[in-house]
Amino acid sequence: MIVVEFPEQTTVFAANQPEYRPLPAHRFPDDPQGRIAFCWSLSWRERFTVLWTGVLWQEVLTFRQPLQPQKLTVEKPTMCRDLRAVRGDGHE
């Protein structure tokens, strides 16, 4: 499974951190919950495995900090492509 870029992305986490893979994301502007969306692509083997087992595992690195609420979905959230709507320079 790999993370993929998408037209609505507004930021890239770890863009300048060689120890991590860059993580393209969309920050939902002015969302009180601070929502961020990522897009993942499964290989054919992974697709067949999920189809066969119906199971998807998730590992989260918390660095011993409190776990943040998370959500996995197969439905793309509604996102705005207007980069001016997002505060900051677009890189984390």
pLDDT tens column, 59-89: 998 999 999 999 999 999 999 876 555 544 4
Residue 92 in domain:
no
Residue 53 in domain:
yes
Residue 91 in domain:
no
Residue 20 in domain:
yes
How many structural domains comprise the chain? 1
Residue 52 in domain:
yes
Residue 89 in domain:
no
pLDDT at residue 7, as a whole number:
94
Q: How far apart are CA 49 and CA 26, in angstroms?
A: 28
List pLDDT tens digits, range 17-33: 999 999 999 999 989 99
**What are 13's strand-pairing partners?**
23
Q: How far apart are CA 64 and CA 19, in angstroms?
A: 19
Q: Please give the residue range of the domain that contains residue 25.
A: 1-84
Residue 67 in domain:
yes
pLDDT at residue 82, as a whole number:
62
Residue 35 in domain:
yes
Residues 6+ apart with CB under 8 A from 34: 28
